Amino acid sequence: MKKAIKVLIFTDLDGSLLHRDTFKFDEIKDYLKQLISKGVFIIPNTSKTEKEILQFNYELGSNLPFISENGSAINGLELLNSDLPKELILSRQKDDLLNIFKNIVPIDLQNKCKWVSEMNKKKQSLIFGLEDKKLKMALNRKYTIPFIFEGTKNQRNELSKIIKNENLYLQEGGRVINLTDKVNKAKALQIFVRFLKKNNKNIKTIAVGDNYNDLEMLKKTDFPCLVFNDKFTLDEIPINNLITTNKPSPEGWADVIKIALVKINEN
């Protein structure tokens, strides 16, 4: 007997599921709960920290598995299959990355990098759009180091080239650049799915994003979804079968998911 289809929704949070400015999702909270009650697995796959995602889970009232800090760690595989591990660490620690960075990057380029952790609280709050407890959670990073780059595009490209020799990468989000290990949302998604397919091959994946750092993740899924973002046009997105919406988050998230689920049922 063929196993029922297991639907996994890998989703970015800020600007995709959460409102871009308020970080709220009240408008679709009931829809999220409805999906979960029907056996659909929602998996945050985001640059957010573990503590931030746990706070999201608390606000939703559900214990969701998740991928944190741009693919650095996977938590909660055991929620989908009790034989799987609770946590998979895919990245080196942030202090290790920073030590390598300081040893290989010329001082003139280092001086163009303004580490968010070294800024005063007011600047940190302006960059992240967060205050107090939520700002503290956003800064509580284990594997990635957010910064603002104050150089030219050519200098940024030079920096990226230098650090790649040590398997370090720059991942650009909507608010900051993150110094990361050789990880990303797409690789973590593939590892997550690979573990699950050991016991059930009949899996369909949906991925939802809104920014450039989500595109590789979208390319690695069965049903790629893009929530409206006025930073770029669809002509810039070389992804086949892309599901889109002209609504921003959080309503746009519900729109693309509904379309994707119809497509899954049609297959």
Judging by DSSP bridges, how do beta strands 113-115 and 87-89 pair with one another? unpaired
pTM score: 0.95
Domain 94-180, CATH number (from 3.30.310.10, 3.30.980.20, 3.40.47.10, 3.20.20.10):
3.30.980.20
Average pLDDT over every residue of 250-261: 98
Q: Where are the domains of the chain?
A: 6-89+184-266, 94-180
pLDDT in tens, 201-225: 899 999 999 988 899 999 999 999 9
What would the 3-class secondary structure string for 137-167 be? Answer: HHHCCCCCEEEEECCCHHHHHHHHHHHHCCC
What proportion of the chain, given as a percentage, has pLDDT over 90?
86
CA–CA dist 13, 210 (Å, integer) = 9
In angstroms, the CA 8 to CA 203 distance is 7
Tell me the pairing of strands 243-244 and 223-226: parallel
Question: What confidence tens digit (pLDDT) does each residue in 137-167 have?
Answer: 999 999 999 999 999 999 999 999 999 999 9
Calculate Rg over the CA atoms of the chain: 18
The CATH number of domain 6-89+184-266, selected from 3.30.70.100, 3.60.10.10, 3.40.50.300, 3.40.50.1000: 3.40.50.1000
Kindly report, residue by residue over 64-110, the tens digit of the pLDDT.
Answer: 999 999 999 999 999 988 999 999 999 999 999 999 999 999 999 99
Residue 174 corresponds to which amino acid?
A: G
Reported as a pLDDT band with limits 50, 70 and 90, residue 1 is: very low
User: Whole-number mean pLDDT of the chain?
Assistant: 94
Tens of pLDDT, residues 232-252: 777 778 898 999 999 999 999
